Amino acid sequence: MLEDSESDAALIRHELQRLTPPPVVHHVKTETSFALTLREFAPHVILCDHNIPGFGGWEALELAQRVVPDTPFILVTGSLDEETAVAYLKGGASDYILKDRLVRLGPSRGRGSVTRCGGRSACCGRSSTRIPVSFS
């Protein structure tokens, strides 16, 4: 998870703990630690804020597409206009979630973003959902 707010990171982590089994969440705050986590952790899903000082969602998406191109990338942000959201989706993001609707991350009726994106990992024989989480 890449996020610049500790309080937002805590809220996201809390919502993710509702998943069964609870995911392993890596929280990073910098471009360097994000790149290292992508290479060493092999995430099943990437959660990323749009506005990160010095390293934003666009750069994170491009890096993720180079390093782990088949890993779902979910933008989690406080606010995003429709045009920017569509641009992210066209650019390769799997989904976007507004921070005031974090319930969409979890298992809500089986339609949560992480449930939907991470579901394919079970087909690959992985025993748990692993989500790198980055926060500043």
Q: What is the CATH number of the domain that holds 99?
A: 3.40.50.2300
Domain total in the chain: 1
Selection from 135, 112, 133, 123 nearest residue 20 by Cα: 112
Within 10 angstroms of residue 75's Cβ, the number of other Cβ atoms is: 26
Peptide bond preceding 72 in cis form (omega within 30 of 0)? no
pLDDT grade for 107, boundaries at 50, 70 and 90: low
Least Cα distance to 47 among 118, 125, 119 occurs for 118
pTM beyond 0.85, yes or no = no
What domain range is 11 assigned to? 2-135
Q: Is the pLDDT confidence value at 129 over 70?
A: no
- Residue found under tokens 């992210």: 88
Q: Give the pLDDT confidence score for residue 29 in this predicted structure.
A: 87
Residue 17 pLDDT exceeds 80: yes
What pLDDT shows up at residue 49?
93
